Chain A
Amino acid sequence: MPREVEISIIEREFIQNALQEGIRRDGREFDAFRPLELNFGDEYGVADVQLGKTRVIVRISVDVVAPPPERKFDGVFQIVTEFSPMASPAFEVGRPTDAEVILSRVLEKAIRRSNALDTESLCIIAGLKCFALRADVHIVDHDGGLIDASCIAVMAALQHFRRPDVIVEGEKATVLSTRERDPIPLSILHQPLSVTFSYYEEGNLFLVDADLAEEQVRQGEIIITMNRHGEICQVNKYGGAPVEPLDLLNLNNVALQKVKDISKFIQQKLDEDAKKRDAGGLMAELSAENAR
């Protein structure tokens, strides 16, 4: 199995010494994200997030299936993660690394278990038909901060996605194509976003959004997922060097500020995209003129 290339001792020391002097490798503030870019695809539900050199593409797709018998009134929603070997030579298809398991578990807890998506709204006929929503998370380039980037991408894609409308007559449901009826946005209950803190110096120095080299040097990570209303959806600190409880509480406040900023950014991008799609408005739609 290919192993991730370990960082050289000299680089490790360079990063640590620089951090002691209060400087990050790329000159960012300790609590600053890398430049975040978010683009939507031509289709609904495709989001492409770039966080520095890390790039994640999420695509939402929908299908009609029979709901599981124990959850008659719910739709199905699953998040599938895929680490492409293209992103890093350490990734292999079909053999999940620890990082992949943690990523899919964190996304699952952050988005699915915190009920970000109202799965009841995906029900068509109770016990017979429901929508099965699937979010495919593709890691296209890996330079650290995968969890944060994936979480942003999934939430942006879910907000961007439109599902086809259905008409229900008794036991018969007809799915209408996008030409017949405008597709409907999903009902999103809240928007959880993750902020990963990496810490150094026995838990005295916390960095937001570490890149790959910084991740390899860190003593541990704390993943905090919350929504902009200040509700924590999950906190994960899997071992690593111990930290003071007071610092943990302070990190929550930092995370909240970051989550608010990113939420605003996503909303702004969504609005821009909506405006682009709605070029010309109602008048253009009514006109017989076309692009030819």
Chain B
Amino acid sequence: MTTAGKIVNNEIHLQSIHHQQTQPHQLHPPEHSDGEPETKKQEMPLDTSTYSLALLRLDGRRWNELRRIHAQINTQAAADGSSYLEMGNTKVLCTVTGPAEGRQAGQRGAKDNEAKVEVEIGFAGFSGLERRKRKSDKRTLEMQHTLSTAYSSLLLTHLYPHSTITLTLHILSQDGSMLAACINASTLALIDAGIPMSDYLVACTAASSATTSDSDNSDPLLDLNNLEEQELPFLTVGTLGRSDKVSVLICESRVRMERMESMLAVGIDGCKRMREILDGVVKEYGKRFS
């Protein structure tokens, strides 16, 4: 039972081999599958062997299913742009301020001829399992850096010289795919703020399910929750709009290089679906003005 993602001629092909009789395979499952159970806080570590038997994950999803995604834009009246995004139990609130005069205009690494993108990420005390005060640790700083560099090249910053665009993200609940959720929420908020950008930047996570290094039958998994993230090697991939082009790629776990291809293919496929969902949210909001 191998399900492999392959990148051929720069196009992603997801091939599913075997086990069709036992499990009806959904390559494109309904985007808002509300019936699927939310992630439960289970004490047991993720046992990957049960996955290979039933081909269902802990929260009842198949390998290529996203979690329930709920998104809203223009949630904060005071901000220039705002969004609220849920990916399963990961919940992020994002507000955009600007383009406005920065706190230290013209200083601190800002170029004179384009806008600077500042990112602040705050974790709510109740967002994780343990109530822990996390003052900007290096991991958060790295996430901020990722978002800021990704959006600096995506937004048409040259239209706003001497200004600062500030993205403020509040993590209300953490359950895996944090960076992906932050990217998706930021994209929505920036669209709401009306800041011109070349395309949607969307992201999701993908993992490789086999933990042993030399077994061939590893299913790639899409959109991980916290438990899966702790157990499996995974990566976060962010693509630009409808294209396959990768803008953000972060992999923090040790994984065989042969695994990369299938993980990347599934991740990019997930991003495409994510784009459609976000696009739907924006269009739904736009209908109010027609």
Contact = CB atoms under 8 A, between A and B. Distances in A.
Interface of A: 1, 3, 6, 98, 101-102, 104-105, 108-109, 113-115, 203, 219-220, 222, 226, 230-246, 248-249, 252-253, 256
Given A101-B142, A252-B260, A244 B245 contact: yes
A252 B265 CA distance: 15
Given A3-B109, A102-B145, A231 B245 contact: no
B153 A248 contact: no
A232 B10 contact: no
A233 B141 contact: no
A249 B153 contact: no
Given A108-B138, A231-B256, A232-B257, A238 B245 contact: no
A255 B250 CA distance: 16
Contacts of B264: 245, 248-249
Nearest to A109: B252
A98 B7 contact: no
Contacts of A252: 257, 260
A238 B68 CA distance: 27
Given A220-B153, A249-B264, A105 B246 contact: no
Contacts of B145: 98, 101-102, 238
B114 interface: no
B150 A234 contact: no
Given A237-B246, A239-B148, A245-B245, 8 more contacts: A105-B138, A115-B254, A219-B153, A220-B149, A234-B252, A238-B149, A240-B150, A243-B245
A109 B139 CA distance: 10
B256 A245 contact: no
Contact of B255 (A232, A241, A244): A232
A246 B7 contact: yes
B142 A235 contact: no
B152 interface: yes
B8 to A, nearest CB: 9
Contact of B261 (A102, A222, A240, A249): A249
30 contacts: A1-B107, A104-B138, A105-B138, A105-B141, A105-B142, A203-B245, A220-B153, A222-B249, A230-B257, A231-B256, A232-B260, A234-B252, A234-B253, A235-B249, A235-B250, A236-B249, A237-B246, A238-B250, A239-B146, A239-B151, A239-B248, A240-B149, A242-B239, A242-B240, A245-B10, A245-B245, A245-B264, A246-B7, A248-B260, A252-B257
A6 to B, nearest CB: 8
A92 to B, nearest CB: 12
Contacts of A6: 111
B131 interface: no
Query: Which of A102, A104, A230, A242 is the most central at the interface, judged by chain B CB atoms within 10 Å of its CB?
Result: A242
Given A220-B153, A242-B239, A244-B10, A231 B251 contact: no
The 4 closest A-B pairs by CB, nearest first: A239-B150, A242-B245, A239-B149, A237-B249
A231 B151 CA distance: 30
A240 B240 CA distance: 11
Nearest to A116: B254
Contacts of A239: 146-154, 247-248
Contacts of B268: 245
Contacts of B250: 235-238
B108 interface: yes
Contact of B108 (A1, A101, A240): A1
Nearest to A222: B249
A154 B185 CA distance: 38
B254 A233 contact: yes
A37 to B, nearest CB: 29
A246 B149 CA distance: 22
A207 to B, nearest CB: 18
B15 to A, nearest CB: 16
Contacts of B10: 244-246
B10 to A, nearest CB: 5
Contact of B246 (A230, A232, A233, A245): A245
B257 A238 contact: no
B243 interface: yes
Given A219-B153, A239-B146, A239-B151, A245 B7 contact: yes
Nearest to B259: A232
A123 B152 CA distance: 46
B80 interface: no
Contacts of A1: 107-108
Nearest to A242: B245
Contacts of A3: 108-109
B235 interface: yes
B120 interface: no
Contact of A240 (B109, B139, B153, B235): B153
Interface string B163-175: 0000000000000
A245 B237 CA distance: 10
B142 A244 contact: no
Contacts of B138: 101, 104-105, 108
A105 B139 CA distance: 7
Nearest to B111: A6
B185 to A, nearest CB: 16
A249 B7 contact: yes
Contacts of A115: 254
A244 B235 CA distance: 16
